[in-house]
Amino acid sequence: MFRWRLESSLVPVEDRNGECNSDECAQAFHSLAATLLTESLFTKERFSHVHQELIRLHDHVRDMPISKDFASNTAANISET
């Protein structure tokens, strides 16, 4: 069980400019996703709740505007890989 994980591991990772380093962001995201999965598998009710909230969150994030700077940086990072 992963209940021993520190709450600090769920805090967003940002650099001095308020932007997230892609590796740190990915690690923070994966850590949170793993914790959600572990906690949701205890009961069907928990799983249903997490699933519905993730759908809602996905819809919300998908509809958020993307800044021009972020889009440019993301495109540059993708073309480098």
Instruction: Please state whether the predicted TM-score (pTM) of the whole model is above 0.85.
Output: no
Could you tell me the residue ranges of all domains in the chain?
Answer: 42-81
Indicate the DSSP class of residue 8.
Answer: G
Q: Tell me how far apart the alpha carbons of residues 75 and 40 are, in angstroms, rounded to a whole number.
A: 34
Per-residue pLDDT of the chain (81 residues; tens, 9 = 90+): 444 444 445 545 554 455 667 888 999 999 999 999 999 999 999 999 999 999 999 999 999 998 877 656 665 556 555
- What lies within 8 Å, CB to CB, of 77 at 6+ separation is 22
